[in-house]
Structure 1
Amino acid sequence: MPKNGSLLVPPSSSVAPPPLNISQTPPFTNWEPPTFTRAAQFRVGATFVLFLFAACSNLALLVSVWWGRGRRLSSHLRPLMLSLASADLMMTFVVMPLDAVWNVTVQWYGGNALCKLLCFLKLFAMHASAFILVVISLDRQHAILHPLDALSAHHRNRCMLLLAWTFSLLLASPQLFIFRTTRVDPVDFTQCASHGSFSHHWQETAYNMFHFITLYVIPLLMMSCCYGRILLHINQQHLQDKAGESHLRRSGTDIIPKARMKTLKMTVVIVLSFVVCWTPYYLLGIWYWFQPDILRITPEYVHHALFVFGNLNTCCDPVIYGFYTPSFRADLAACCGRSRSHTSPRSLDRLSARQGPHSGELEQQPAAAD
């Protein structure tokens, strides 16, 4: 029997999205326990590299926004970036180590309580990461479509972030009741799985599809709607400008301020990285739920590679933020010691301040207040 086709392998090793699992009873006749294959070894090695990079970069982003030059962020953008870094760190310190260790050990040695807790935290982290991207998209939509309503943005974003974290908590809570340790006595094999939680296969398929919709489909639709409305608004402004109907622009060339536009570009790239990284994995997951025989015709390394590629999204966010934010790059330079050997901290501040008004709404400048 294929390794990934059994309920007795880690759900993170199956082709279905990580928090989910197949609970159908496997045929135990002539059944052999799964092993730590070469493809799984590649997955563990790649996950370890991503873990190191994601941990360092997201911690640096969190420190920069909380204590460093990133404190110049607009008051309503700062909680968004802090939440995004926090969600990425949850993915880094919960999903990645759990996936790597579980693939090495193959079976579960952590006991029933830890089985439930870690499966809950895994799904909680994935929901939080997706929902915070939705909040960022809604914030950008409001900033572009209603630029004069900036005073209420701070309170509005805090409320949306509270809802995002709350919904993530609620949607992940069923994991505490569904997952449990399952033992196969003939081969002395124990696994953390959802075996026995569903009386019919269609119930499990419905549960999997529900989380696919909440983890991927709904966030994707909401983000697409937000940026679609933004593009439509910019196009309408451009047409009005051509017709001579717009007289309130800040300059003769800008439809919207350059600072706000650069922040918009940054958030678009962050959302696109989420879509690009996770779409192949979820599409393969849908195929697996309805046609489990896919495991017999698809090489094992493909399943592992797609999950590693999905985790790459956790590393992309701080890189994208750093590309668009001079203050973050200045903090990294200071942290690496270049501030002493090449320039003083004060000159780095002046460099960041000179770049800020032209590089984005990310640095809190009077000309870029939003």
Structure 2
Amino acid sequence: HSDNTLFPPLVDWEAPTFTRAAQFRVGATLILFLFAACSNLALLISVCRGRGRRLASHLRPLIMSLAAADLMMTFVVMPLDAIWNITVQWYGGDVMCKMLCFLKLFAMHSSAFILVVVSLDRHHAILHPLDSLNSHHRNKRMLGLAWGLSVLLALPQLFIFRAIKAEGVDFTQCVTHGSFKERWQETVYNMFYFVTLYVFPLLVMSFCYTHILIEINQQLHRNKGTTGESCLRRSGTDMIPKARMKTLKMTIIIVMSFVVCWTPYYLLGIWYWFQPEMLQVTPEYVHHALFVFGNLNTCFDPVIYGFYTPSFRADLAMCWCYRRRDINMSPRSLDRLSHHQNVSPLIVRPSLTF
């Protein structure tokens, strides 16, 4: 089964089948894959080549890294999960088993750690606004650390997972069987990754945004006491600029989407690690639905970014208009337009770049 990093194998093992619930999981994953791939690629192109280049120099690497991490989840985790559920058993061989399990955990770690970097950046920007000159270099170092830790923490997958053929039947699976002498060792292994994938990022992000909200609230009350105004003021200007506050709101919602999407899935995993028999009483579609719900997070990030960023929406609108012009423009009208402008039709044809 494709969730071996979260759900260890049962003692009384039976060969899995491509059930109706698994078919639903594959269909939903395909829809999420198409949406996440298009939206995150559009976001990445907009930030690299479109109006998103106008973002502050310290914010662009963060948004680019967030989109890249979501694309890793999209092009590694989703296809791997869908194909694995369809084939049921593993046909990729031992090397591919190790590499894909490594890439899966790397993608999941990078997605979580980039959100941690974004939270730390917002924390520093709001609480230490005068130290913004060093933010670009600081963010680059934190991003390098986030990607490096993601690789490091995913490396054990290369040694833990292996393709094993079941005795007495024609069935091969990519599993951790034989890598742990005792069940508690595998539980500790899984709990460690639960902490690094979910608990640690959640604690850091919670600390950052709680501290930010406390500081904003304290400043608000201080201003009420000194000036009688209900807004944050300092020397006649907003203490927190509107653009910075807008970015803060955006990142808070992005973090909340991560927490809301993945919390049910990880809680189910903890329940199973300590009570394996619960899998016999919990409907199969619950496990599949919660994993699909977790993958929604990769779709929410570009939507949230687009809601708070007019430049991204403008790039999408421009691309849509160009495509409609290409579709609706007949050869005769194209010739008339090219003759009117005294240029060739090839030059008139608009570019599809953002």
- How does the TM-score come out when normalised to structure 1? 0.84
Contact 2:7–2:269 (Cα < 8 Å) also in 1:
no
List structure 1 runs of 4+ shifted beyond 6 angstroms. Answer: none
Query: Normalization by structure 2: what TM-score?
Result: 0.88
Q: 1:83 to 1:152 in 2, by over 3 A?
A: same
Deviation of the 1:338 alpha carbon: 5.8
1:271 has 2:262 as partner: no
Question: Are residues 1:135 and 2:117 paired?
Answer: yes
For residue 257 of structure 1, report the CA deviation from its aligned partner: 1.1
The whole-number CA distance in structure 2 between the counterparts of 1:103 and 1:340 is 38
Query: Superposition pairs for residues 89-108 of structure 1, below 5 Å?
Result: 89-108=71-90
RMSD of aligned C-alpha atoms?
Answer: 1.6
1:230 matched residue in structure 2: 212
Question: Which structure 2 residues correspond to residues 1-370 of structure 1 after superposition, within 5 A?
Answer: 10-12=1-3, 19-22=5-8, 26-27=11-12, 32-244=14-226, 248-251=234-237, 254-337=238-321
Q: CA deviation at 1:299?
A: 0.3
| Counterparts in 2 of 1:336 and 1:206: CA distance versus 1, 3 Å | same
Conserved? CA contact 1:182–1:190, under 8 Å: yes
Deviations 1:190-238 (A, max 9, x none): 0000000000111000000000000000100000000011001101111
In the alignment, the residues of structure 1 paired with residue 5 and residue 65 of structure 2 have an alpha-carbon distance, to the nearest angstrom, of 22
1:110 & 1:218 partners in 2: Cα distance? 33
Unaligned runs of 5+ in 1: 1-9, 13-17, 342-370
Distance in 2 (alpha carbons) for counterparts of 1:206 and 1:319: 36
> What count of residue pairs does the alignment treat as equivalent?
321
Task: Pick the structure with greater CA Rg.
Answer: 2
Q: Deviations over 1:294-347 (max 9, x none)?
A: 111110000000000000000000000000000000100111126986xxxxxx
For residues 190 and 103 of structure 2, what CA distance do their matches in structure 1 show?
17
Q: Which runs of 5+ in 2 are unaligned?
A: 326-354
Measure how far apart 1:33 and its partner are: 2.0
CA contact 2:2–2:84 (8 Å) conserved in 1: no
Q: Percent identity?
A: 72
- The answer to whether the Cα contact below 8 Å between 1:69 and 1:328 also exists between their aligned partners in 2 is yes
CA separation of 1:299 and 1:324: change in aligned 2, threshold 3 A: same
Secondary structure class of the residue paired with 2:44: helix
| C-alpha distance in 2 between matches for 1:140 and 1:77 | 10
Answer 1 or 2: higher relative contact order, Cα 8 Å, separation at least 6: 1
Change (3 A) 1:72 1:250: farther
How far residue 159 of structure 1 moved from its aligned partner, in angstroms, is: 0.3
**Whole-Å Cα distance in 2 between the matches of residues 131 and 171 of structure 1?**
11
Q: Aligned partners of 1:264 and 1:116: how far apart in 2?
A: 39
Q: 1:108 to 1:188 in 2, by over 3 A?
A: same
Give the aligned residue type for 2:145.
L
